[in-house]
Amino acid sequence: MPALTDTSPVSFILPAQPLRRYISTYYFLDTGTDEVEQEDFLYPEWGTVRFRLRGPATGNLVGLQPLVIPADSVTGPTGKAALVRFRNVHIVGFGILPLGWHRLIGYPADRWADKVSAVDAAPEFAILAQLRRELDSVTDPEQIAARFDHILLQAISGPDPLETDIESIHYAIANPEISNVGKLAEATGISKQRLERLSRRIFGFPPKLLLRRQRFLRTLAAVMENPDLKWSGALDGQYFDQAHFNREFHQFMGMSPGQYLAMPRAVSIMSNRARAQHVGQVLQLLQVPAPSDRQ
Protein backbone atom coordinates (compact mmCIF):
# COMPACT_ATOMS: atom_id res chain seq x y z
CA MET A 1 0.00 0.00 0.00
CA PRO A 2 1.55 3.36 -0.95
CA ALA A 3 2.23 5.77 1.89
CA LEU A 4 0.29 9.02 1.91
CA THR A 5 3.52 10.94 2.25
CA ASP A 6 7.15 9.88 1.95
CA THR A 7 7.79 10.46 5.63
CA SER A 8 4.50 9.50 7.26
CA PRO A 9 4.81 6.58 9.71
CA VAL A 10 1.07 5.90 9.56
CA SER A 11 -1.38 4.78 6.90
CA PHE A 12 -5.07 3.90 6.81
CA ILE A 13 -7.23 1.39 4.97
CA LEU A 14 -11.01 1.57 5.08
CA PRO A 15 -12.75 -1.73 5.86
CA ALA A 16 -15.04 -3.45 3.37
CA GLN A 17 -18.16 -1.39 2.67
CA PRO A 18 -20.55 -3.54 4.77
CA LEU A 19 -18.22 -3.16 7.77
CA ARG A 20 -18.11 0.64 7.76
CA ARG A 21 -21.08 0.79 10.10
CA TYR A 22 -19.04 -1.18 12.64
CA ILE A 23 -15.34 -0.37 12.08
CA SER A 24 -13.89 3.09 11.49
CA THR A 25 -10.55 2.28 9.80
CA TYR A 26 -7.65 -0.11 9.93
CA TYR A 27 -4.43 1.73 10.62
CA PHE A 28 -0.77 0.85 10.48
CA LEU A 29 1.89 2.69 12.47
CA ASP A 30 5.62 2.07 12.16
CA THR A 31 7.87 4.65 13.79
CA GLY A 32 11.03 2.92 12.55
CA THR A 33 14.06 1.81 14.53
CA ASP A 34 14.87 5.12 16.22
CA GLU A 35 15.53 4.31 19.89
CA VAL A 36 14.55 7.80 21.10
CA GLU A 37 11.40 7.66 23.22
CA GLN A 38 8.49 9.72 21.90
CA GLU A 39 5.49 11.17 23.72
CA ASP A 40 2.07 11.83 22.24
CA PHE A 41 -1.68 11.92 22.83
CA LEU A 42 -4.51 9.52 22.25
CA TYR A 43 -7.62 11.66 21.95
CA PRO A 44 -11.05 10.72 23.32
CA GLU A 45 -12.46 8.10 20.96
CA TRP A 46 -14.65 5.05 20.53
CA GLY A 47 -13.25 1.60 21.26
CA THR A 48 -9.86 0.81 19.75
CA VAL A 49 -7.87 -2.35 19.17
CA ARG A 50 -4.08 -2.24 18.94
CA PHE A 51 -1.77 -5.13 18.12
CA ARG A 52 1.76 -3.93 18.88
CA LEU A 53 4.16 -6.09 16.91
CA ARG A 54 7.35 -4.34 18.01
CA GLY A 55 8.57 -1.89 20.61
CA PRO A 56 7.63 -0.91 24.18
CA ALA A 57 4.80 1.48 25.12
CA THR A 58 3.44 2.95 28.33
CA GLY A 59 0.52 5.29 28.93
CA ASN A 60 -2.52 6.30 30.92
CA LEU A 61 -5.12 9.01 31.12
CA VAL A 62 -3.48 12.43 31.34
CA GLY A 63 -2.42 13.09 34.92
CA LEU A 64 -2.30 9.44 36.02
CA GLN A 65 0.74 7.26 36.57
CA PRO A 66 1.95 5.66 33.29
CA LEU A 67 1.33 1.91 32.99
CA VAL A 68 2.75 -0.70 30.63
CA ILE A 69 0.32 -1.13 27.73
CA PRO A 70 -0.30 -4.78 26.76
CA ALA A 71 1.13 -5.72 23.38
CA ASP A 72 -2.33 -6.83 22.21
CA SER A 73 -4.83 -4.45 23.75
CA VAL A 74 -8.39 -3.21 23.51
CA THR A 75 -9.45 0.15 24.88
CA GLY A 76 -13.08 0.90 25.61
CA PRO A 77 -14.63 4.23 24.62
CA THR A 78 -12.76 7.09 26.26
CA GLY A 79 -13.91 10.37 27.72
CA LYS A 80 -10.44 11.74 28.43
CA ALA A 81 -7.18 12.00 26.54
CA ALA A 82 -4.34 9.61 27.29
CA LEU A 83 -0.64 10.43 27.28
CA VAL A 84 1.48 7.65 25.78
CA ARG A 85 5.21 7.08 25.49
CA PHE A 86 6.69 4.65 22.98
CA ARG A 87 9.87 3.72 21.14
CA ASN A 88 10.46 1.87 17.88
CA VAL A 89 6.85 0.66 17.64
CA HIS A 90 5.02 -1.19 14.90
CA ILE A 91 1.24 -1.31 15.45
CA VAL A 92 -1.71 -2.71 13.54
CA GLY A 93 -5.01 -1.41 14.85
CA PHE A 94 -8.58 -0.41 14.14
CA GLY A 95 -11.38 1.59 15.68
CA ILE A 96 -14.65 0.02 16.80
CA LEU A 97 -17.72 2.20 16.27
CA PRO A 98 -20.58 1.85 18.80
CA LEU A 99 -22.55 -0.48 16.56
CA GLY A 100 -19.40 -2.58 16.14
CA TRP A 101 -18.92 -2.74 19.91
CA HIS A 102 -22.49 -4.02 20.24
CA ARG A 103 -22.15 -6.67 17.52
CA LEU A 104 -18.54 -7.77 18.01
CA ILE A 105 -17.95 -7.36 21.75
CA GLY A 106 -21.49 -7.60 23.09
CA TYR A 107 -20.51 -6.45 26.57
CA PRO A 108 -21.72 -3.20 28.20
CA ALA A 109 -19.41 -0.46 26.92
CA ASP A 110 -19.58 1.55 30.14
CA ARG A 111 -17.81 -1.29 31.98
CA TRP A 112 -14.79 -0.77 29.72
CA ALA A 113 -15.01 3.02 29.42
CA ASP A 114 -11.62 4.67 29.97
CA LYS A 115 -10.04 1.24 30.52
CA VAL A 116 -7.45 -0.82 28.67
CA SER A 117 -7.33 -4.61 28.67
CA ALA A 118 -5.12 -7.28 27.16
CA VAL A 119 -7.04 -8.94 24.34
CA ASP A 120 -6.70 -12.36 25.96
CA ALA A 121 -7.80 -11.17 29.41
CA ALA A 122 -11.58 -11.27 28.90
CA PRO A 123 -13.83 -13.72 27.00
CA GLU A 124 -15.75 -10.91 25.28
CA PHE A 125 -12.63 -10.14 23.23
CA ALA A 126 -12.38 -13.62 21.66
CA ILE A 127 -12.93 -12.30 18.13
CA LEU A 128 -10.02 -9.89 18.60
CA ALA A 129 -7.72 -12.73 19.66
CA GLN A 130 -8.69 -14.53 16.45
CA LEU A 131 -7.68 -11.46 14.43
CA ARG A 132 -4.33 -11.29 16.23
CA ARG A 133 -3.47 -14.81 15.14
CA GLU A 134 -3.75 -13.73 11.51
CA LEU A 135 -0.75 -11.42 11.99
CA ASP A 136 1.52 -14.42 12.53
CA SER A 137 1.30 -15.32 8.83
CA VAL A 138 0.80 -12.07 6.92
CA THR A 139 2.54 -8.68 6.99
CA ASP A 140 1.22 -6.75 3.97
CA PRO A 141 -1.34 -4.13 5.11
CA GLU A 142 -3.73 -4.82 2.25
CA GLN A 143 -3.69 -8.54 3.00
CA ILE A 144 -4.15 -7.89 6.71
CA ALA A 145 -7.17 -5.69 5.99
CA ALA A 146 -8.64 -8.35 3.69
CA ARG A 147 -8.26 -11.09 6.31
CA PHE A 148 -9.71 -8.88 9.04
CA ASP A 149 -12.63 -8.04 6.74
CA HIS A 150 -13.32 -11.73 6.15
CA ILE A 151 -13.32 -12.66 9.83
CA LEU A 152 -15.35 -9.66 10.98
CA LEU A 153 -17.97 -10.07 8.25
CA GLN A 154 -18.47 -13.67 9.34
CA ALA A 155 -18.80 -12.58 12.97
CA ILE A 156 -21.56 -10.09 12.13
CA SER A 157 -24.33 -12.19 10.65
CA GLY A 158 -28.05 -11.66 10.60
CA PRO A 159 -30.11 -8.65 11.67
CA ASP A 160 -30.13 -7.17 15.14
CA PRO A 161 -33.18 -5.32 16.48
CA LEU A 162 -31.08 -2.63 18.18
CA GLU A 163 -29.12 -1.56 15.12
CA THR A 164 -31.61 1.09 13.99
CA ASP A 165 -31.74 2.74 17.42
CA ILE A 166 -27.95 2.63 17.82
CA GLU A 167 -27.36 4.29 14.47
CA SER A 168 -30.05 6.89 15.16
CA ILE A 169 -28.32 7.84 18.41
CA HIS A 170 -24.91 7.89 16.74
CA TYR A 171 -26.03 10.21 13.96
CA ALA A 172 -27.89 12.48 16.37
CA ILE A 173 -24.88 12.80 18.69
CA ALA A 174 -22.78 13.87 15.71
CA ASN A 175 -25.31 16.50 14.61
CA PRO A 176 -24.01 19.96 15.65
CA GLU A 177 -27.60 21.22 15.81
CA ILE A 178 -28.42 18.91 18.72
CA SER A 179 -27.24 20.54 21.93
CA ASN A 180 -29.04 18.74 24.77
CA VAL A 181 -30.55 15.43 25.78
CA GLY A 182 -34.10 16.63 25.14
CA LYS A 183 -33.30 17.38 21.51
CA LEU A 184 -31.42 14.09 21.26
CA ALA A 185 -34.47 12.18 22.46
CA GLU A 186 -36.70 14.09 20.06
CA ALA A 187 -34.39 13.46 17.09
CA THR A 188 -34.13 9.73 17.76
CA GLY A 189 -37.69 9.09 18.91
CA ILE A 190 -36.29 7.33 21.98
CA SER A 191 -37.45 8.19 25.49
CA LYS A 192 -34.92 9.91 27.75
CA GLN A 193 -34.89 6.97 30.14
CA ARG A 194 -34.17 4.42 27.42
CA LEU A 195 -31.71 6.80 25.77
CA GLU A 196 -29.76 6.94 29.03
CA ARG A 197 -29.60 3.15 29.25
CA LEU A 198 -28.60 2.63 25.62
CA SER A 199 -26.02 5.41 25.72
CA ARG A 200 -24.20 3.85 28.66
CA ARG A 201 -24.52 0.28 27.41
CA ILE A 202 -23.56 0.85 23.75
CA PHE A 203 -21.65 4.16 23.70
CA GLY A 204 -19.99 3.94 27.10
CA PHE A 205 -21.19 7.23 28.62
CA PRO A 206 -24.42 9.07 29.46
CA PRO A 207 -25.88 11.08 26.57
CA LYS A 208 -25.06 14.48 28.09
CA LEU A 209 -21.36 13.63 28.21
CA LEU A 210 -21.45 12.23 24.68
CA LEU A 211 -22.81 15.54 23.39
CA ARG A 212 -20.23 17.56 25.34
CA ARG A 213 -17.38 15.37 24.07
CA GLN A 214 -18.56 15.72 20.48
CA ARG A 215 -18.83 19.52 20.81
CA PHE A 216 -15.32 19.71 22.24
CA LEU A 217 -13.79 17.56 19.51
CA ARG A 218 -15.45 19.58 16.74
CA THR A 219 -13.61 22.64 18.07
CA LEU A 220 -10.33 20.75 18.53
CA ALA A 221 -10.57 19.36 14.99
CA ALA A 222 -11.11 22.83 13.55
CA VAL A 223 -7.78 23.97 15.02
CA MET A 224 -6.07 20.75 13.91
CA GLU A 225 -7.22 21.38 10.35
CA ASN A 226 -6.16 25.02 10.43
CA PRO A 227 -3.24 25.56 12.84
CA ASP A 228 -3.32 29.32 12.21
CA LEU A 229 -6.86 29.50 13.57
CA LYS A 230 -7.15 30.81 17.13
CA TRP A 231 -9.29 28.92 19.63
CA SER A 232 -11.73 31.83 19.79
CA GLY A 233 -12.27 31.59 16.05
CA ALA A 234 -12.82 27.82 16.16
CA LEU A 235 -15.34 27.63 19.01
CA ASP A 236 -18.31 25.40 18.33
CA GLY A 237 -21.57 27.32 18.32
CA GLN A 238 -22.74 25.50 21.46
CA TYR A 239 -20.08 27.15 23.63
CA PHE A 240 -21.08 30.22 25.62
CA ASP A 241 -17.61 31.77 25.51
CA GLN A 242 -13.88 31.05 25.63
CA ALA A 243 -13.96 30.36 29.38
CA HIS A 244 -16.61 27.70 28.84
CA PHE A 245 -14.39 26.01 26.26
CA ASN A 246 -11.31 26.25 28.50
CA ARG A 247 -13.15 24.39 31.28
CA GLU A 248 -14.16 21.68 28.81
CA PHE A 249 -10.58 21.46 27.55
CA HIS A 250 -9.39 20.68 31.07
CA GLN A 251 -12.17 18.11 31.41
CA PHE A 252 -11.26 16.17 28.27
CA MET A 253 -7.53 16.84 27.87
CA GLY A 254 -6.35 17.29 31.46
CA MET A 255 -4.57 20.58 30.68
CA SER A 256 -5.10 24.06 29.25
CA PRO A 257 -5.26 24.76 25.49
CA GLY A 258 -1.90 26.56 25.72
CA GLN A 259 -0.21 23.63 27.47
CA TYR A 260 -1.55 21.29 24.80
CA LEU A 261 -0.20 23.37 21.92
CA ALA A 262 3.22 23.55 23.60
CA MET A 263 3.61 19.76 23.81
CA PRO A 264 5.30 17.67 21.10
CA ARG A 265 2.71 15.77 19.05
CA ALA A 266 4.73 14.67 16.05
CA VAL A 267 3.06 11.29 15.48
CA SER A 268 -0.51 12.38 16.16
CA ILE A 269 -0.14 15.43 13.90
CA MET A 270 0.97 13.20 11.02
CA SER A 271 -1.68 10.62 11.87
CA ASN A 272 -4.46 13.22 11.95
CA ARG A 273 -3.31 14.65 8.63
CA ALA A 274 -3.22 11.19 7.04
CA ARG A 275 -6.64 10.32 8.46
CA ALA A 276 -8.12 13.53 7.07
CA GLN A 277 -6.69 12.80 3.63
CA HIS A 278 -7.75 9.18 3.51
CA VAL A 279 -10.91 9.06 5.64
CA GLY A 280 -12.17 12.65 5.57
CA GLN A 281 -12.01 13.33 9.32
CA VAL A 282 -9.01 14.12 11.49
CA LEU A 283 -10.46 12.34 14.55
CA GLN A 284 -12.08 8.94 14.91
CA LEU A 285 -15.00 10.31 16.94
CA LEU A 286 -16.02 12.64 14.13
CA GLN A 287 -16.27 9.78 11.63
CA VAL A 288 -19.75 8.35 11.14
CA PRO A 289 -20.95 6.02 8.38
CA ALA A 290 -22.37 7.82 5.38
CA PRO A 291 -26.13 7.38 4.90
CA SER A 292 -25.49 5.19 1.85
CA ASP A 293 -23.59 2.76 4.08
CA ARG A 294 -26.62 2.04 6.20
CA GLN A 295 -28.50 -1.20 5.65
Q: Using one digit for the tens of pLDDT, what is the confidence trace for 29-41?
A: 999 877 788 999 9
Q: What is the pTM of this model?
A: 0.92
Final residue in a domain of this structure, among 135, 159, 183: 159
pLDDT of residue 2: 35
Say if residue 151 is in the same domain as residue 172. Answer: no
Say if residue 152 is in the same domain as residue 14. Answer: yes
Q: Does residue 4 form part of some domain?
A: no
Q: Does residue 295 form part of some domain?
A: no
Number of compact structural domains in the chain:
2
Closest CA to 118 of 129, 103, 107, 127: 129
Q: Does residue 168 form part of some domain?
A: yes
Q: Does residue 292 form part of some domain?
A: no
Q: How far apart are CA 41 and CA 224, in angstroms?
A: 13
Supply the mean pLDDT for the chain: 91
* Three-class secondary structure of residue 260 per DSSP: helix
Instruction: Give me the CATH number covering residue 124.
Output: 2.60.120
Q: What confidence tens digit (pLDDT) does each residue in 89-142 have?
A: 999 999 999 999 999 999 999 999 999 999 999 999 999 999 999 999 999 999
Q: What confidence tens digit (pLDDT) does each residue in 34-92 have?
A: 778 899 999 999 999 999 999 999 999 999 999 999 999 999 999 999 999 999 999 99
Say if residue 95 is in the same domain as residue 224. Answer: no
Q: Does residue 209 form part of some domain?
A: yes
What mean pLDDT do residues 144-155 have? Answer: 97
* DSSP state letters, 271-288: HHHHHHHHTS-SSGGG--
- Domain coverage including residue 123: 10-159
Say if residue 49 is in the same domain as residue 146. Answer: yes
Pair 215, 239: CB distance under 8 Å: yes
Q: How far apart are CA 96 and CA 99, in angstroms?
A: 8
Neighbour tally for 8: CB within 10 Å = 16
Q: Does residue 270 form part of some domain?
A: no
* DSSP state letters, 168-194: HHHHHHH-TT--SHHHHHHHHT--HHH
Angle at 253 between CA 251 and CA 258, to 5 degrees: 110
Q: How far apart are CA 236 and CA 260, in angstroms?
A: 18
27: pLDDT strictly greater than 60: yes
Instruction: Give me the CATH number covering residue 257.
Output: 1.10.10.60
Say if residue 143 is in the same domain as residue 193. Answer: no
